[in-house]
Amino acid sequence: MATSQRNLSSYDAGTVPDARHMKFGLVVSDWNSEITHAMCNSAIGTLISHGANNDNIVVKHVPGSFELALGAKWLGESDEFDAVLCIGCVIQGETRHFEFICQGIAQGIMQLNLTFGIPVIFGVLTTNTIEQARDRSGGRYGNKGDEAAITAIKMIALKKEIE
């Protein structure tokens, strides 16, 4: 779990399973693209550093974070992926819009986990400011994309272990 006291990119690489035979779909919001594209690039780098083949990583873009769940649903329906990572960023504004969007995204992604039985990873920053988002997408707190990639690898491995 990410906190302001913990770097999102810090983890024990020895605890991460080999991702060589795993297939990943990434759905990336283009809203706040400075943040989301940095998170996506970091996630891909982390997947590859743990053995994932670049040919087994597919990236699709959606307009905003609210569309992540539908994009992830379409990837899940394809039966091509062991996990889908949802990469987005919602920054608090002056209205309650932030709350509705964040709640909808979280519920949608959670439901997809249960519907498809594959990991659908919540790699969505929900910050108060652009500075907080920058801090968590390659800044002083690391990159949430790394955390999403590690979570996907570990969840795929758990599923395979149970099967």
Structure tokens at 32: 């706040």
The residues spanned by each domain of the chain are 32-162
CATH architecture of 32-162: 3-Layer(aba) Sandwich (3.40)
Q: How far apart are CA 85 and CA 111, in angstroms?
A: 14
Residue 87's pLDDT band, with cuts at 50, 70 and 90, is very high
Assess contact for 85 and 122: CB atoms under 8 A: no
Q: How far apart are CA 101 and CA 158, in angstroms?
A: 30
**What positions carry a catalytic annotation?**
97
pLDDT single digits (tens) 9-50:
778 888 899 999 999 999 999 999 999 999 999 999 999 999
pLDDT single digits (tens) 46-63:
999 999 999 999 999 999
Handedness of CA 106, 61, 29, 67 (dihedral sign): negative
Residue owning tokens 């659908």:
120
State how far the alpha carbon of 131 is from the alpha carbons of 7, 76, 94, 137, 148, in Å: 16, 33, 16, 10, 20
